[in-house]
Structure 1
Amino acid sequence: MPAAPEGGFPACPDRLGLYPVLPSADWVERVLGLGVRTTQLRRKTADAADLQREISRSVEAGRRHDAQVFINDHWREAIAAGAYGVHLGQEDVQTADLSAIAKAGVRLGLSTHGYYEMLRALHFKPSYLALGAVFPTTTKVMPTKPQGLARLSRYVQLLSGRVPLVAIGGIDAKAMPGVLETGVRSAAVVRAVTEAPDTAAAVLSLQKMFAGQR
């Protein structure tokens, strides 16, 4: 494996809370305006100019709202824009310049799918680990079967206090209470926000679930 950057990556809060993963800067601005404090831009485009604009707008929205905005995959552009953090997959650590990300003071979130990948990710001393997919999801092709709540609970027992944890994958408002009962302090959502008939009402309802955590 590539060597971990000396000193690891900057820390992020243990309680990242509701973590919407969003397709555009418009969505990032809208959701941060509703009081969300952690979000991720997952922009799917091959247009370099579009990508730069979307990342710059999202990062600026994060600054305005004093929020944590992570950029999915595009670590070079995230560094250039002064992003709070980047989120990478397991395969990305083989090609990304992890030292450059760390030296820029950018936080690193890593995706994991089971025990082996969690141990592998811990080697790099990331700012948080994403644990998934908890449930079946249609937003991307997953390399493993859904982990389920029983496994998520075991992951939390093993890693809580060592690194911030984010549950991800197929989580909606109906599933959220069970996810939070595992003790995880952050959960990523996609369609629960982007496909909600009333975005503001959906965000408020989800935020209230986190407010009830011990």
Structure 2
Amino acid sequence: MKFKKEMLLLYAVTDRHWTGGQTLEEQIEEALAGGVTILQLREKNLPEEEFLQEAIRVKEICHRHGVPLIINDNVEVALKSGADGVHVGIEDAPVSEIRARVPADFIIGATCKTVEQAKKAEQAGADYMGVGAVFPSPTKTTAIRITREQLYEICTSVQIPAVAIGGITAENITEIRGGGMAGAAVVSAIFGAADIPKAAGELKKKVKEIVTGA
């Protein structure tokens, strides 16, 4: 699936902590129906083969909705499952090494917390950046916080687009208006919601307002 920055508008990241009485796949289906524009499948503790089989199933759900699937960290699972790309953190495999071994249209996202990291990711071949944490994050309690001003500085230092990430909710997202990002990445604000399609729809509308002014 050819990458477009518009795909980043509402970027959902999965987390099994919020599944409750639903399966992760049921939650994903609801999130996509609500308006999620790109999905990252994140599994920190699942055995490799289980992760792969799950990724194959989730890819089918995403593609049915015309939404790209990004795999967190694991390039092998991304390639074997036919996912659209991978997102890597600062301590994961270098973007340049991944770019050298994947198809031309394979999407690579990179976490960036400084202008230097952003420029390095762009030069290495990343398609987009994840920049944050812009608020305290319930899923990454040790994440380093960055200000709206730092967000803007990082986003505008390179040509590749960025998503803001970290503790973003429908209530606080207006605080990063003018941050220069192309979208927002959220976890609990979607998957922890009582009504996932409604939460996704409301978030999408708010993100669009602060990103495009529409």
Distance 1:155 1:99, change over 3 A: closer
Distance 1:36 1:175, change over 3 A: same
Amino acid at match of 1:69: L
Q: Distance in 1 between matches of 2:86 and 2:95?
A: 14
State the match for 1:205 in structure 2.
Answer: 202
1:13 maps to 2:12: no
Q: Distance in 1 between matches of 2:205 and 2:94?
A: 39
Cα pair 2:96 2:124 within 8 Å, conserved = no
State the match for 1:188 in structure 2.
Answer: 185
Structure-2-length-normalised TM-score: 0.84
Tell me the alpha carbon deviations over residues 45-104 of structure 1, each in whole angstroms, 9 at most, x when there is no partner. 242332112111111112111112111011101101111111011121249951455336
Structure-1-length-normalised TM-score: 0.84
Q: Distance in 2 between matches of 1:154 and 1:99?
A: 26
Q: Distance in 1 between matches of 2:110 and 2:94?
A: 12
Cα pair 1:133 1:142 within 8 Å, conserved = no
Seq. identity, %: 30
1:156 maps to 2:155: yes
Cα pair 2:118 2:157 within 8 Å, conserved = no
* Structure 1: gaps (5+ residues): 1-9
Instruction: State which drifts further: 71-80 or 100-109.
Output: 100-109
Amino acid at match of 1:140: K
Amino acid at match of 2:153: R
Instruction: State which drifts further: 10-19 or 38-47.
Output: 10-19
* Structure 2: gaps (5+ residues): 16-23
Count of residues in correspondence between the two structures: 202
